[in-house]
A and B are shown apart, each in its own frame.
Chain A
Amino acid sequence: MNATLYTRREWIALAVLAALILIVFPATMDIFRLNLVGKYLTYAFVAAGLVLCWGHGGILSLGQGIFFGLGGYCMAMFLKLEASSPENTAIQSTPGIPDFMDWNQVTELPFWWIPFKSFPFTLAAVIVVPVVFAYIIGAAMFKRRVGGVYFAIITQAIAAILTILIIGQQGYTGGVNGITDLRTLLGWDIRTDSAKFILYFVNAALLIVVLLLGQAVRVSKFGRLLIAMRDKEDRVRFSGYSVADFKIFIFCLAAAFSAIGGAMFTLQVGFMSPSFVGIVPSIEMVIFAAVGGRLSLFGAVYGALIVNWAKTSFSESFPELWLFAMGGLFIAVVMAFPNGLAGLFRSHVEPLLAKLTRKSPPPPAPDATPAEAVKLAAE
Chain B
Amino acid sequence: MRAVVTVIGKDRTGIIYNVSKILAENSVNIEDISQTVMHDFFTMIMLVDMTNMSVDFNILKAALEEVGETIGMSIRIQHEDLFNAMHTI
B is a partner of A: no
Question: Which of B's residues lie within 8 Å of A, judged by CB?
Answer: none
